[in-house]
Amino acid sequence: EAGVAQSPRYKIIEKRQSVAFWCNPISGHATLYWYQQILGQGPKLLIQFQNNGVVDDSQLPKDRFSAERLKGVDSTLKIQPAKLEDSAVYLCASSLSTVAGELFFGEGSRLTVL
Amino acid sequence: QKEVEQDPGPLSVPEGAIVSLNCTYSNSAFQYFMWYRQYSRKGPELLMYTYSSGNKEDGRFTAQVDKSSKYISLFIRDSQPSDSATYLCAMSASTGANNLFFGTGTRLTVIP
Q: Who contacts B59 (Cβ-Cβ below 8 Å, separation ≥6)?
A: none
Quick check: A39 contacting B, CB < 8 Å? Answer: no
Calculate ∠ Cα A42-B30-B51, nearest 5°. 100
- Of the candidates B3, B89, B74, the one whose C-alpha atom is nearest the C-alpha of residue B38 is B89
Q: What is the pLDDT of residue A101?
A: 67
| Chain B nearest C-alpha distance from A82 (Å) | 22
Q: Hey, how many other C-beta atoms are within 10 angstroms of the C-beta on A18?
A: 11
Confidence of residue A54 (pLDDT cuts 50, 70, 90): very high
pLDDT digits (tens, 9 = 90+) for A65-106: 999 998 889 999 999 999 999 999 999 999 886 566 688 999
- Select the residue of B8, B32, B105 nearest A101 (Cβ to Cβ): B32
Instruction: Sort strands B106-111 and B11-14 into parallel, antiparallel or unpaired.
Output: parallel
Contacts of A104 in chain B (CB under 8 A): 45-46
Q: What is the pLDDT of residue B95?
A: 65
Quick check: B30 contacting A, CB < 8 Å? Answer: no
Q: What is the pLDDT of residue B24?
A: 96
pLDDT digits (tens, 9 = 90+) for A4-32: 999 999 999 999 999 999 999 999 898 99
Instruction: Sort strands A10-13 and A109-113 into parallel, antiparallel or unpaired.
Output: parallel
Q: What is the pLDDT of residue B92?
A: 87
Is residue A23 within 8 Å of residue A6, measured between CB atoms?
Answer: yes
Residue A51 has pLDDT above 90, yes or no: no
Q: What is the pLDDT of residue A15?
A: 96
Quick check: A62 contacting B, CB < 8 Å? Answer: no
d(CA B106, CA B37): 10
Quick check: A56 contacting B, CB < 8 Å? Answer: yes
Q: Between the CA atoms of A98, A103, A5 and A58, what dihedral angle is there, to the nearest 10 degrees?
A: 60
Mark the ranges of chain B whose per-residue pLDDT is less than 70: 1, 95-98
Q: What is the pLDDT of residue B98?
A: 59
